[in-house]
Amino acid sequence: LEADGPSEEAPVHYRRVEEGEHQKINSHSYTNRCPKERWSKAETELFYSALSQFGLDFTMIGYMFPNRQPRQIKNKYKAENSRNGKRVDAALRTRTSDGQHYRDIISTLDLADNDEDQA
């Protein structure tokens, strides 16, 4: 049996971790966890607007939150669905197809950018 492929193995890159006096190493030391950040009320309202516009398309919702990781958006949906399931269902049922909703979202994002620039 012969297999075509690279004749040499690809180099393996290891990361050296030194355990200090106050640093403990366990299985979570090597995971890529996303940071937990609180969502502001304005971000939560924008999240519900995005749900009503895009449904459960988290990729599209992610474009509205450039400072958030996809996992954070999915976790937000899970948390809101368990806390405010009726509101999530209402947002998913009332999907709009007019352009006014997009204009409202863009103006909200522009206001948020201006607030961050002034801070």
Exposure string of 68-95, with b = 16+ CB inside 10 Å and e = fewer, is beeebbeebbeebeeeeeeebeebeeee
pTM: 0.61
Q: Convert the pLDDT of each residue in 5-54 to its tens digit.
A: 555 666 667 677 666 666 777 777 777 777 788 999 999 998 998 898 88
DSSP 74: H
Q: Convert the pLDDT of each residue in 102-116 to its tens digit.
A: 777 677 777 766 766
Q: Is the dihedral of CA 105, 86, 61, 97 positive or negative?
A: negative
